[in-house]
Amino acid sequence: MSEFALGYAETLAKTTGHIACITDKDTVIAVAGGSKKDYLEQNLSKEIEQIMEDKEVYKSDKNNNLSVPIVKNDKKDKIYNSQIVYPIISNGDSIGTVILLSKEPSTKMTDVEAKVAQSAASFLGSQMEI
């Protein structure tokens, strides 16, 4: 999956203007639009692992003090003002996630970003089925 992930993350970041991360089941495998050292090859947080396991979509609806940590070493003071986490499903199994996030205080994720993340997750999942 990683051969497609970097290119797709770069496209997502350019298209949406947000930080884009693509993960496998354990780590962040691609980052664009944000600091690679903060995310790339970092172990996923238990919250992201749970979203993946439950095959649920997470979308923050309001700019508040609640955010899902992306990686295990995310500091408690690091707040993402807006996030979408979409699981990548292949052959019925969750194999990773597509994450769009923003630290900008005025940014909110809309249905457009949700559809973009859904499309990316569907594409990456279908590539693994081939």
pTM of this structure: 0.91
Domains in the chain: boundaries: 2-129
Backbone angles phi, psi at 65, to 5 degrees: -85, 5
Fold of the domain built from segment(s) 2-129: Beta-Lactamase (3.30.450)
Q: 18-72 pLDDT, tens per residue?
A: 999 999 999 999 999 998 998 999 999 999 999 999 999 999 865 555 678 899 9
- Contacts of residues 34-40 at CB distance under 8 Å and 24 or more positions apart, as own/partner, are 34/101, 38/71, 39/70, 39/71
What per-residue confidence (pLDDT) applies to 78? 56
Q: 90-115 pLDDT, tens per residue?
A: 999 999 999 999 888 788 888 999 99
> Cα separation of 98 and 76, whole Å?
22
Asked whether residue 87 carries a pLDDT value surpassing 90, the answer given is yes
Query: In this predicted model, which residue has the larger pLDDT, 4 or 84?
Result: 84
